[in-house]
Amino acid sequence: MARRLRVLLDGTPLLGHRTGIGRYTASLSEALASMSAVDTRAVAFTLRGWRGLRSALPHGVRARGMPVAARLLRTCWLRSNLPPVEAFAGLTDVVHGTNFVLPGTVRAARVLTIHDLAFLDAPEELAPSDRRLPDLVRRGAAQADVICTPTAAVADSVAERLDVDRAKIEVTPLGVDAGWFTGRPPTEDKRRQFGLPEEYLLFAGAPGPRKGLDWLLRAHESAPELPPLVFAGPGRFPHSPRTRHVGYLSDVDLQRVVAGASALVLPSRDEGFGLPVLEAMACDVPVVCTDVPTLREVSGGLAHLVPYGDVDALADALRQAVAQPHAASASATRRAHAAGFTWRRCAETTLAAYRRAVES
């Protein structure tokens, strides 16, 4: 019987409010833990919150590590592989940088997930703590045995812009949790709790310059006949008399709020995957999103695609989505498309990347 592959994940994205990368890391680690071929462990690179990793991990994933400042480690890893992650997390066959940064290693095979290249397109939008991220990602991409990306569109961009062999990249699409396919609109009590109107448009996710929210607000204000606009996610959002921010929601509450929307809108300038698109489709909710390569790939021709920045086109697409009849054929097509994306498939393609990395 073959020995189980020992895999060490960067579990830092599991701490705090989970948006895209946190949900990816959690769901991937849970799916890997269910596979007999893998011994899954995780380490958190943080000085203060590292003890919280144990309670944040899925069943079957073990926590490793010790308190260590992420900024100090990143500074060291820009110059060398010291200190190696094995020094405070133990020996392992594969180290997987789940969040753009490849930890320094001694002997372990190296796998790096690059979710998107927004940090290259708009480095001025990076937080001060991430100013060296472009250098770290370039170094990690060069050193990694295998690179994972969520879409073929990102894989092509990584190969071209980071000057790596396209054959070195594995596409590991994200998945849709089963609960999304049974999502039901919020009850009257939940509507009152969150201050939701009977009809509403929804943006789900964290705000940020690349999310296109100012453009969305202009388009929404230009069409007063549209339902109110609801923002669901952590952080500060733009405000107008016809907007509502419901804050960060639990998974169950988020499923209900998405399922009750007249349409979901993702007006991003750039995305690595765009998971809310598929989650809305699983709930049989129409989707409006930006016409960029990643969202074209993920939506599979089933969303209203709009050129980025075109206010009139976005307003018109929102009108069409709200008026879209819920025909049984359209519902079945949307749900079937979303059902093709599973965390089991994500884990299987990621495991293939680990094996390639070990063999190389």
241-268 mean pLDDT: 95
87-104 mean pLDDT: 93
Q: 44-48, 112-116, 239-243, 266-270: which has the minimum mean pLDDT?
A: 44-48
Class of domain 178-339: alpha beta
Instruction: Give the C-alpha separation, 290 to 277, whole Å.
Output: 11
pTM of the model: 0.92
Note whether 5-175+342-359 and 178-339 share their fold.
Answer: yes
Q: Which parts of 44-175 are beta strand (E)?
A: 62-64, 94-97, 109-113, 146-149, 169-171
Q: Tell me the C-alpha to C-alpha distance, in Å, between residue 52 and each of 56, 89, 243.
A: 6, 16, 35
pLDDT over 80 (residue 330): no
pLDDT over 80 (residue 80): yes
Annotated domain spans of the chain:
5-175+342-359, 178-339
**Architecture of the domain spanning 5-175+342-359:** 3-Layer(aba) Sandwich (3.40)
pLDDT over 70 (residue 329): no
Q: Tell me the C-alpha to C-alpha distance, in Å, between residue 353 and each of 62, 79, 313, 330, 358.
A: 21, 26, 40, 35, 9
Instruction: Give the C-alpha separation, 30 to 61, whole Å.
Output: 7
Torsional class of 195: left (φ above 0), alpha (ψ -120 to 50), beta (otherwise): left
How confident is the model at residue 160, as a pLDDT? Answer: 97
Q: Point out which residues pair with 42 in neighbouring strands.
A: 9, 63
195-205 mean pLDDT: 95
Residues 6 or more apart from 197 whose CB is under 8 A from it? 191, 227, 228, 244
pLDDT over 60 (residue 260): yes
Q: What is the mean pLDDT of the chain?
A: 91
Q: 106-115, 140-149, 277-286, 317-326: which has the minimum mean pLDDT?
A: 317-326
How confident is the model at residue 56, as a pLDDT? Answer: 82
60 vs 113: which has the higher pLDDT: 113
Residue 289 host element (H or E): strand 287-290
C-alpha angle 15-137-19 in degrees, rounded to nearest 5: 30
Q: What is the largest CA-CA distance in the chain?
A: 65
